[in-house]
Amino acid sequence: MEITWDISTVTLLAAAVIIISKLTTDYLRPKRKSPPGPKPWPIIGNLNLLGNTPHQALHQLSRTYGTIMQLKFGSFPVVIASSPEMAKQFLKTYDHVFCSRPATAAGKYTSYNYSDMTWAPYGPYWRQARRIYVNEIFNARRLGSSEYIRVEERRAFISRLFAASGKPVVLKEHLSHYTLSSISRMVMGNKYFTQSESDSGDQGSIITFKEFHAMMDEWFLLNGVFNTGDWIPWLSFLDFQGYVKRMKALYKKWDRFHNHVISDHKSRRQQSEESFDKDMVDVLLQHAEDPNLEIRLTSDCVKGLMQDLLNGGTDTSATTVEWAIHEVLRQPRIIEKARKELDRVIGREKWVEEEDLSKLPYIDAIIKESLRLHPLATLLAPHFSIEDCEVSGYHIPRGTTILINTWSIGRDPNSWDEPEEFRPERFLLEKSDIDLAGRSFELLPFGSGRRKCPGYSLGTKMIRSTLANLLHGFDIKLPGDMKPEDICMEELYGLTTHPKVPLALVMDPRLPLHLY
């Protein structure tokens, strides 16, 4: 009997073979174990669990599911590391796997299409940019040669506080003014800012301090938000949170500023027949003209890298000092102990200079303790896996976003005694070997591994010298009948997390008046 096969029969048989083969393969393939975590909802996954302070919400979840857990944001897997051991796995042991960044709207719209160091994916461009940062912008010689700028701006900062003696001042505003003045001179050679719209300012100034700070605050907020469109792409066109609209508006403001600064620098270089001191923007522009560079630096690349230098150096230093002042005012004994060290080592006839910082271990301990409880980034900028990996017995597939919860790490009871207590003495005793350079995974204010902040050495110089001189030069008091327990310690979440309520303080001089 002859069997005839028509096309439909053959198609059905082929489909059956494929289905049976796939089912058999799936059945025989060993099951891969994913990290534990809460059950996701349809469409939104676990986005509903984050709230206004995602780091705190994730901290609470880690108490239930452990120090490595997996959530779904939309349909995308997100793994959270909440202990030093887990952070070490992602940032050191398997750093080569988790060294990239996810593609977010913030990186696209506020960072020149991923052209800055924060959001650039791992690859030749990012490696080249990091080499420029480490070897030419943040090297010891350049930081040493710019110390006079930091000294001049710090003295101007102290003079402004002295002029307001006896009256409540909002410390955040003065700190931001000081750090922006310092960083802008180091990065751009000029401040490019006016005090107010009516102030003629320096030649070339196109924006007020207030406007620029608003731009920076908006950048840090938008780069830290969980934008629904990043996780549910088919809903991105709706932009129902309004974040993308704000990102595009912010981009226009930044671009206008950057174009002005770059145009001014190019004009100065063309007009100058003699050599001149190159600032950080000059270094970037010089590389942009280098035909032998592996990856050409476009105008957007220069802008993105310049923006990183301004934002990173300004916001992080001011915020760290602000948190430290909040904490020490709640415990006057800490201020007294710090002043005894300052009076003994520095004396009352001079200010603290950068060369003195290594001789002030208690000041250093205060800063470390503040960074433990109030890390610069409560969730480090997200990492992204570029290949499959097994971490602590769990399968982490390619394309997974990794969040390192430094807020949780700083409260890990297995690493810290009385973790909720602000106790700087721990860094003089049992934790004296912990540093800020990313080698100690219990404390990661600047990250670790390939993605560690390349400007951490400048940041630590500014933080230490600022706090030391504030405590040395001023008797800092709360206004009116305000008590230490009235200080608000709530957080305003973003890529960096600020005190929710800026603190007004009375700053009275405690050194001889001729020093001010």
Q: Which tens digits make up the pLDDT trace of 78-123?
A: 999 999 999 999 999 999 999 999 999 999 999 999 999 999 999 9
Domain range holding 302?
33-515
Q: 224: Cβ–Cβ under 8 A, 6 or more apart, which residues?
A: 379, 493, 494, 495, 496
Q: Is residue 11 part of a domain?
A: no
Which whole-number Å values give the CA distances from 130 to 98, 499, 512, in the listed order?
17, 31, 45
**463 within 8 A of 348, measured Cβ to Cβ:** no
pLDDT-based confidence at 269, cuts 50/70/90? confident
Q: Is residue 25 part of a domain?
A: no
Alpha carbons 12 and 14: distance in angstroms, whole number: 5
For residue 317, give the nearest of 421, 422, 470 by alpha carbon.
470
Q: 103: Cβ–Cβ under 8 A, 6 or more apart, which residues?
A: 114, 121
Q: Is residue 9 part of a domain?
A: no
Locate 110 and state its tokens: 């506020």
Q: 164: Cβ–Cβ under 8 A, 6 or more apart, which residues?
A: 507
Q: Picking from 13-17, 209-213, 273-277, 294-298, which range would have the lowest pLDDT averaged per residue?
A: 13-17
Q: Is residue 14 part of a domain?
A: no
Which amino acid appears at position 30 of this protein? P
| 453 is an annotated ligand-binding site residue | yes
Q: Is residue 43 part of a domain?
A: yes
Alpha carbons 74 and 92: distance in angstroms, whole number: 28
How many other C-beta atoms lie within 10 A of the C-beta of residue 326?
21
What are the φ and ψ backbone dihedral angles of 501, each rounded to 5 degrees?
A: -115, 110
Alpha carbons 381 and 402: distance in angstroms, whole number: 9
Alpha carbons 146 and 132: distance in angstroms, whole number: 17
Q: Is residue 28 part of a domain?
A: no
- How many structural domains comprise the chain? 1
Q: Is residue 386 part of a domain?
A: yes
Q: 196: Cβ–Cβ under 8 A, 6 or more apart, which residues?
A: 208, 210
pLDDT at 340 over 70: yes
Percent of the chain residues topping a pLDDT of 90: 83
**115 within 8 A of 132, measured Cβ to Cβ:** no
pLDDT confidence of residue 206: 76
pLDDT in tens, 474-484: 999 999 999 99
Q: Is residue 447 part of a domain?
A: yes
CATH number at residue 255: 1.10.630.10
pLDDT confidence of residue 3: 45
3-state secondary structure of 193: strand
pLDDT at 405 over 80: yes
Q: Picking from 13-17, 143-147, 289-293, 417-421, which range would have the lowest pLDDT averaged per residue?
A: 13-17
Q: Which residue has the tokens 């001089």?
A: 509
pLDDT at 345 over 90: yes
**45 within 8 A of 73, measured Cβ to Cβ:** yes
**Residue 170: beta bridge partners?**
504
pLDDT in tens, 14-55: 555 555 555 554 455 557 899 999 999 999 999 999 999 999
Helix (H) or strand (E) holding 80: strand 76-81
pLDDT-based confidence at 273, cuts 50/70/90? low
**Residue 389: beta bridge partners?**
396
Alpha carbons 117 and 228: distance in angstroms, whole number: 23
